[in-house]
Amino acid sequence: MSSVRRQTAWRRRFRAASWILPLFFLLVIALLPYLWVLLTSFKPKDEIFVSPPSLLFDPVLDSYRSVFVDKGFGRYLFNSIVVGLSSTLVAVTIGVLAAYALARHKVPGSNHLMFFILSTRLGPPVAFALPMYLIFYRLGMLDLGVAVILAHASFNLVLVVWMMKSFFEDIPKEVEEAARLDGCGHFGVFFRISLRMAWPGVVTVAIFVLLFSWNELLFSLILSAGQWRTMTVMIPTLVVQTSTLWGEVAAACVVQSIPVILFTFMGQKHLVRGLTFGAVKG
């Protein structure tokens, strides 16, 4: 019996190692570029181009000081935060309400309406950039940052509606009917029952919307002006005519990635639940 138990234990270890090692290898490959950028941001300028590259050095904050103090990138980081959070709030609020209405109520022509909502993402974004620019220019909204917020929210609205509609459809209608029998109105059922049960989906969609808005370049480049430029627009300006300021580029990229990493880790539990929501039904 002892030999059989040993063989079984070795088989379990082998099975565990058979998928842990490949995942660890993929993790190293995925994190290696980010680690390289992180090290570059702390290197002195004379050690960035050393060949072979040095892994042991005295870290300095010259690149961070140069890009955020001397070049004023702190303002653009604040703009990215405002645009990302505002567009996420607008898209998620409108999209969740629309998805619930389409999932629970008989909307005339709902199938055609869903296809119309999806069709707004069928064309390339550059095809909508010029009309949006002309509209927001006539309205005088380019210098206020509202144009970028509305553009990001409108394009992310498709993702919110389609994903949240499936989340609400997976919620049993019997739960809502029981709440109505207890005297709960339409808004009470939505806020107290449906929205709470679909909350992991809301967090999942919000993370995707924030990631898109945070990393988006085209609309931020065309629709923003003056002091409302975002980090994604200003990082390419560190490539000057004579050379590329790799230390400043690395520092800006590291700082830009921190809010997204923190937001994703904070909503990790809801993200996993949201991605698997409705996969197993009782």
> Does 11 reside within a domain?
no
Query: Which domain does 238 fall in, by range?
Result: 74-275
Instruction: Break the chain down into helix, strand, coil percent, rounded to 5.
Output: 80, 0, 20
90-142 pLDDT, tens digit per residue, is 999 999 998 888 888 777 766 677 777 777 777 788 888 888 889 988 888 87
C-alpha radius of gyration, the chain, whole number: 24
Reported as a pLDDT band with limits 50, 70 and 90, residue 6 is: low
> Does 235 reside within a domain?
yes
* pLDDT above 80 for 270: no
Q: Identify the pLDDT of residue 282.
A: 41
> Does 83 reside within a domain?
yes
Q: Identify the pLDDT of residue 273.
A: 57
Q: Which residues contact 8 (CB under 8 A, 6 or more apart)?
A: none
pTM here is 0.80
Looking up residue 257, the CATH number of its domain turns out to be 1.10.3720.10
241 near 253, Cβ under 8 Å?
Answer: no
- Distance between CA 11 and CA 7 in Å, rounded? 6
Range 238-257 average pLDDT:
87
Reported as a pLDDT band with limits 50, 70 and 90, residue 171 is: confident
- Distance between CA 178 and CA 281 in Å, rounded? 19
> Does 63 reside within a domain?
no
Range 132-157 average pLDDT:
87
- Distance between CA 100 and CA 42 in Å, rounded? 48
Range 156-176 average pLDDT:
85
> Does 181 reside within a domain?
yes
Sequential DSSP letters for 188-216: HHIIIIIHHHTHHHHHHHHHHHHHHHHH-
Burial (Cβ within 10 Å: 0-12, 13-18, ≥19) of residue 201: buried
Name the more confident of 164 and 10.
164
67-84 pLDDT, tens digit per residue, is 998 888 989 999 999 999
- Residue 227 CA to its chain's centroid (Å): 23
198-221 pLDDT, tens digit per residue, is 888 888 888 889 888 998 888 888
247 near 63, Cβ under 8 Å?
Answer: yes
Which amino acid, residue 145? G
* pLDDT above 90 for 13: no
Q: Identify the pLDDT of residue 251.
A: 92
* pLDDT above 50 for 280: no
Number of domains in the chain: 1
Q: Identify the pLDDT of residue 92.
A: 94
Q: Identify the pLDDT of residue 252.
A: 92
User: 3-class DSSP state for residue 57?
Assistant: coil
Q: Identify the pLDDT of residue 3.
A: 61
Q: Identify the pLDDT of residue 176.
A: 80
Q: Which of 152, 130, 155 is nearest to 83 (CA)?
A: 152
Reported as a pLDDT band with limits 50, 70 and 90, residue 279 is: very low
Range 226-246 average pLDDT:
84
> Does 56 reside within a domain?
no
Torsion of CA 19, 203, 220, 115, to 10 degrees: 90
Which amino acid, residue 81? I
- Distance between CA 7 and CA 19 in Å, rounded? 19
278 near 167, Cβ under 8 Å?
Answer: yes
Task: Pull the structure tokens for residue 2.
Answer: 């002892």
Task: Pull the structure tokens for residue 156.
Answer: 């992310």
20-69 pLDDT, tens digit per residue, is 778 888 888 888 888 888 988 898 888 888 878 777 788 888 899 999 98
Q: Identify the pLDDT of residue 1.
A: 47
Sequential DSSP letters for 104-172: HS--TTHHHHHHHHHHTTTS-HHHHHHHHHHHHHHHT-TTSSHHHHHHHHHHHHHHHHHHHHHHHHTS-
